[in-house]
A and B are shown apart, each in its own frame.
Chain A
Amino acid sequence: SQKIEQNSEALNIQEGKTATLTCNYTNYSPAYLQWYRQDPGRGPVFLLLIRENEKEKRKERLKVTFDTTLKQSLFHITASQPADSATYLCALEAGGFKTIFGAGTRLFVKA
């Protein structure tokens, strides 16, 4: 069956460091992958989309990589700030209009 894995353990890092979150998937060949941010008690907010023919995408302090051979995406936040503390969700295209979401990884950035 199709499966997406994100590290269920929270990631704790110091302000100013780079946070790296991992998304692994099996039994998929997605044409694209998305990352969302979710704050407690709120709906997810879209951050970035990367397509299967793109190795890397950047937006301000965010960088996403997409390795279709390893079936993995890495999400980096450089120069992290306490305001970056949130849960980050990985989402994969699953055919048609369907998107499959991972359970998310919670990030805590300490000042």
Chain B
Amino acid sequence: DVKVTQSSRYLVKRTGEKVFLECVQDMDHENMFWYRQDPGLGLRLIYFSYDVKMKEKGDIPEGYSVSREKKERFSLILESASTNQTSMYLCASSLGTSGDNEQFFGPGTRLTVL
């Protein structure tokens, strides 16, 4: 079974802190994604990566950056955390170069910014 793990289930940070969220997948998937999920808004794509060192902006990239130095690891960085970045963050991965492959999600990180 594909396993996607995220570094923390719960995280509390202060405004202005730099925050790192780590995601690791163990099935050699090419594509990796970062979403945030807020009530009533569904999952919104922040960034995605279709190869090592490649990244593409999603729908809401402002205030975030990403890093993919190794195929199995995709990191989300909040440069200067703000209270409106309090949310559930979900990482996902998918196989292959076409876009119609199912996505495998991690358990999520619930981030609170005070």
A interface, CB within 8 angstroms of B: 4, 8, 31-32, 34, 41-46, 49, 51, 89, 93, 95-104
Would A43 and B31 count as touching, CB distance under 8 A? no
| Chain B interface main SS type | strand
CA A72 – CA B48 in complex, angstroms? 27
20 pairs from A and B in contact (CB 8 Å cutoff): A32-B100, A42-B107, A43-B4, A43-B92, A43-B108, A44-B43, A44-B103, A45-B105, A46-B102, A89-B42, A93-B100, A96-B99, A97-B56, A97-B99, A98-B58, A99-B99, A100-B45, A101-B44, A103-B40, A103-B41
Q: Give bound CA distance, A15 to B102, whole Å.
A: 29
Contact B103 A31 (CB under 8 A): no
A97 and B103 CA atoms in complex are apart in Å by: 11
Rounded to whole Å, the gap between the CB of A29 and the closest CB of chain B is 14
A-B pairs, top 7 by smallest CB distance, nearest first, are A43-B105, A103-B42, A46-B102, A101-B43, A97-B99, A101-B42, A32-B100
Which residues of the other chain, B, contact A102 by a CB distance below 8 angstroms?
Answer: 42
- The residues of B with any CB-CB pair to A shorter than 8 Å are 4, 31, 35, 40-45, 48, 50, 56, 58, 90, 92, 94, 99-100, 102-108
B31 touching A44 by the CB < 8 A rule?
no
